Amino acid sequence: MDIKHLRYFLAVAEELNFSRAAKRVHVEQSPLSRAIRRLEADLGATLFDRNCRRMELTAAGRVFQQQSQLVLTALQQARREVTQATRPSNQPLSTPQTAKVRHDLSETLSRYLIKEHTPENLHQVNLDHEIYSAAQAEADRLCISIHAWVNCTLKGYLSAKG
């Protein structure tokens, strides 16, 4: 199985039409059909119900569509991270990048901290708002600490390397 085949499959799954999918991925319809048949043979599952009127995803096809999207998303993320890792060492993270990391980490930590608090150990009148506010503040403090640690570590690494 090849990444190209995942892209072909997703195009067919989204278009539910080989002709339109072939145009979308810039191949002829015949090689696209062969690639899908080969993919189905490799997986040992029929991914599409094909009849003269229309084409639909099978249950296996829907599962494979979701998983294929996850794989391609992970691949794109890996490429972004590799690109960032290969950028010149003296080029700092941009403000939007640091803000996005801080926001994502803050949201994740907030959700975690909210789950850890139970009504038995809280004495606030408005529990949801109070828990969220406390969790958000704690997450923000932790994010700032992590950000400072990363910057300090990177500076130490770069000065030792350079």
Tokens representing 151?
């910057």
pLDDT value of position 16: 94
**Could you report the per-residue pLDDT of 112-140, keeping only the tens digit for each?**
555 554 444 444 434 445 555 555 565 56
The reported pTM is 0.53
129, amino acid identity: H
Mean pLDDT, the chain, whole residue set = 75
Which strand (E) or helix (H) includes residue 104? helix 95-116
The HSE-up count of residue 156 (CA atoms within 13 Å, CB side) is 6
CA 52/CA 110 separation, integer angstroms: 52
CA 124/CA 129 separation, integer angstroms: 9
Tokens representing 107?
């949201």
CA 101/CA 106 separation, integer angstroms: 8
146 vs 22, which has greater pLDDT? Answer: 22
Q: Which of 9-13, 21-25, 111-115 has the lowest mean pLDDT?
A: 111-115
pLDDT value of position 85: 81
136, 155, 145, 139: which is closest to 93 by C-alpha?
155
**Could you report the per-residue pLDDT of 57-104, keeping only the tens digit for each?**
999 999 999 999 999 999 888 888 888 888 766 555 555 555 666 566
- Do residues 11 and 21 touch, judged by C-beta distance below 8 A? yes
Confidence of residue 44 (pLDDT cuts 50, 70, 90): very high
Q: Percentage of the chain surpassing pLDDT 90?
A: 40
The HSE-up count of residue 128 (CA atoms within 13 Å, CB side) is 0
What is the mean pLDDT of the segment spanning 49-55?
86
What is the mean pLDDT of the segment spanning 16-27?
94
